[in-house]
Amino acid sequence: MKANNLVLEVKGLKTYFYLDEGVLKAVDGVSFSVERKRTLGLIGESGCGKSVAAQSILRIVPPPGKTVEGEIVLYRNSEAVLDLAKLHPRGKEIRRIRGKEITMIFQEPMTSLSPVHTIGNQIMEAILLHVTKDKRYAKELAIEMLSKVGIPNPHQIMNEYPHQLSGGIRQRAMIAMALSCSPSLLIADEPTTALDATIQAQILELMKKLQDQFGMGIMYITHNLGVIAEIAQDVAVMYLGKVVESAPVREIFHNPLHPYTARLLKSIPKVGRKARTRLEAIEGTVPLPIGLPRQCNFCPRCPEAIEGVCDKDIPPLVEVAKKHFVRCFLHTQKAT
Ligand SMILES: Nc1ncnc2c1ncn2[C@@H]1O[C@H](COP(=O)(O)OP(=O)(O)OP(=O)(O)O)[C@@H](O)[C@H]1O
Ligand SMILES: [Mg+2]
């Protein structure tokens, strides 16, 4: 078999929420892959299904949500070993993978750090669970990780509680925890949005450095295209539960093909600007993905929509140039 650098391959993933109002199709047939030492940026407006896609990979989608279709293939040493979609969400196997092979960092560290345990105990707990049973070694490793993420006084931080730390240090502590078991895949869901621009830039540098050292693949979710330009090599653009365009980062920035991507790019918040800036340049709002008609999801908001074409069917995702995929009749009609 040909060697590859894959760590994860998601194919045709569908995760739906079964609500009283109807079936909400948060993720509706999404495919993407993440490679070793590379970062996939996942972008799109609020409510497009980025976080639910991440939760689906870790099998932590809360009820009434359910992954109903698709594969989440985990690779070890370039070999496909396991379809995470087939595992029981609370079973032993996925629990062994979560927090070790695949870890996640969130926008607000307080949601993943326990307020009643010291930072040291929390990092050590992850290490004791996944790496070693030796407490002294676990402590050494925890201190080493804290210093690797640039915390100047790791011994002291070990004994402190999350609320005693500044936002930046807390974020670093969470990253240290996420990296303490050398994951092969790190999922970062807007991890720097709450931080000021300087700290944000430092954290990005740090993640790149650690990625180099550990060789992990990163899936980085954000609204901030400046951050994507900084950290990602590949980009997938989501709209209403579907990937509408995916390409190497340079292609996305210089040659965006989908009208949605082109409009997202018009509102690039620069890395230096306030990180909270949201992308609001596109007219209209994202509807709830319940009972959507059989047409291009972006059609009602698209200034370039072709009547009788875009409102008649769902466009397929087509490779229009090498590694450049787009789901839009404007481009796929030309190709056929
Ligand atoms: N626990 C839940 N119960 C019901 N619906 C949900 C739940 N979580 C997400 N959704 C719905 O799924 C869709 C996708 O949500 P998701 O949180 O993945 O968006 P997102 O792209 O991460 O947005 P943001 O950029 O605001 O974080 C939305 O329509 C949302 O309302
Ligand atoms: Mg989200």
CA distance 68 to 27: 10
Ligand 1 atom index nearest CA of 45: 25
Note the Cα 282 to chain centre separation in Å: 22
* Alpha carbon of 47 to ligand 2 centroid (Å): 7
Mean pLDDT, the chain, integer:
90
Give me ligand 1 centre to Cα 32, in Å.
19
Ligand 2 center–CA 77 separation, angstroms:
30
- 281 vs 215, residue with greater confidence: 215
Ligand of minimum distance to the alpha carbon of 48: 1
Q: Cα(238) to centroid of ligand 2, in Å?
A: 12
Is the pLDDT at 290 greater than 50, yes or no?
yes
Per-residue pLDDT, averaged over 215-237, amounts to 93
How far, in Å, from the CA of 314 to the mean position of ligand 1? 22
Encode pLDDT of 298-327 as tens digits. Answer: 999 999 999 999 999 999 999 999 999 999
Closest listed ligand to the CA of 27:
1
pLDDT at 209 over 60: yes
Q: Which residues, judged by CB distance below 6 Å to any ligand atom, belong to the binding site of ligand 1?
A: 17, 24, 26, 44, 46-52, 62, 65, 223, 288-289
| Atom of ligand 1 minimally distant from the CA of 62 | 1
Residue 190: predicted pLDDT: 85
Q: Among 25-34, 145-154, 214-223, 287-296, which is the least confidently predicted range?
A: 145-154
| Averaged pLDDT for residues 132-148 | 92
Q: Mean of the pLDDT values across residues 144-164?
A: 92
Instruction: Tell me which of 28, 30, 51 to substitute to probe ligand 1's pocket, judged by most ligand atoms within 8 Å of the beta carbon.
Output: 51
Q: Which protein residue has the closest C-alpha to ligand 1 atom 13?
A: 26
pTM above 0.85, yes or no: yes
Mutate to test the pocket of ligand 1, among 14, 19, 20, 24 (most ligand atoms within 8 A of CB): 24
- Which residue owns the Cα nearest ligand 1 atom 25? 46
Predicted confidence at residue 110, as pLDDT, reads: 67
**pLDDT score of 336:** 44
- Read off the pLDDT of residues 66-81 as tens digits, 9 standing for 90 and up: 999 999 999 999 999 9
Q: Across 130-139, 182-191, 247-256, which has the greatest mean pLDDT?
A: 247-256
Q: What's the 194 CA to ligand 2 centre distance in angstroms?
A: 13
pLDDT in the model for residue 266: 82
CA 335–ligand 2 middle distance (angstroms)? 34
Q: What is the mean pLDDT of residues 100-128?
A: 87
pLDDT for the residue numbered 109: 66
pLDDT score at 146: 92
Taken in order 52, 43, 93, 120, the sign of the CA dihedral is: negative
Is the domain spanning 6-101+185-335 CATH 2.40.10.170? The answer is: no
**In the chain, where are the structural domains located?**
6-101+185-335, 111-182
CA 191 vs. chain centroid, Å, equals 10
pLDDT exceeds cutoff 50 at 9: yes
pLDDT > 90 fraction of the chain, expressed in percent and rounded:
67
Q: What is the pLDDT of residue 329?
A: 97
| Cα–Cα distances in angstroms (integers) from residue 130 to residues 83, 139, 317, in the given order | 21, 14, 39
Q: Does position 2 have pLDDT exceeding 70, yes or no?
A: no
- Which range among 120-129, 151-160, 166-175, 269-278 has the greatest average pLDDT? 151-160
- pLDDT tops 60 at residue 197: yes
**Ligand index nearest the alpha carbon of residue 50:** 1
Per-residue confidence (pLDDT) for residue 282, from 0 to 100 = 77
- 82-112 in b/e form (b: 16+ CB < 10 A) is bebbebeeeeeebeebbbbbbbbbbbbbeeb
Which residue has a Cα nearest atom 19 of ligand 1? 47
Within 13 A of 290's CA, how many CA atoms are on the CB side?
9
- Sheet containing 65-76: which strands, arranged edge to edge? 22-35, 6-19, 65-76, 79-83
